[in-house]
Structure 1
């Protein structure tokens, strides 16, 4: 015996003299173990299914939101494409043949005052030299007829 008065179990015990555990008790212990294990596994399974269901619902919500954002993005891109088409169709000062030759003169180094005077004499706006990306004013048509008449008049002088 130890100091508390409990028997010491060890190799000195003859197990043939120890009575066997009752079979009913052994079955009861096993049944209790199986029942508690099954209850634990059932609760665990239920909790896992609930969490998976909640996660699945959240994923569906995210997919729905993503589809909505994708649709909005497509609409926005189509709007931008339309705006780009509109801006590509706008004729800028640099693309207009009436103004392009004067812009070229500026690049070559012709005095700006001389260019401005020539533009005024031909009925063009000299202020547009400073804004080559601005849209061409919409007075008149293409300017091709005007340009040809201007060139004819300059040859007749």
Structure 2
């Protein structure tokens, strides 16, 4: 029945025009409803952003507290023990070699003695030791390795490293030797 009215061929020039006040009322109603919807939407978004900002501030404050607690924990490993042990071994080999040369008689004669210096000494490898600082001992990365050691998830530590402008892949390889490493 309604479709019959629409499908009829009506001469639109014979129809009376719409009242301007009525058209104006429809347009005003549409604009007011659209503005109210957009204002409510903007208000909800803003309140959600404020809540998110508060939560982020709480997380940042907690992270600062954790960093301060980690900084107050003394180091477990002593970095000076490793180089001292290798230097002591090198000094012992050089002093044994000096004793060996002092026991040789002048004039080219060789004598046999029951001295411990006659036993051949193990030779020190001539390969140069790589120089640098291990990543876990570097001052710039030490706090991040402590965070992992105290149970902070590695993903969270990597995000923190990115936030501070540090390469997060260093966390995966703590024994990486850094030539530009800094120790205390």
Normalising by structure 2, what TM-score? Answer: 0.40
- Structure showing greater relative contact order (alpha-carbon pairs closer than 8 Å, 6 or more residues apart): 2
Higher Rg: 1
Greater fraction helix: 1
TM-score normalised to the size of structure 1? 0.47
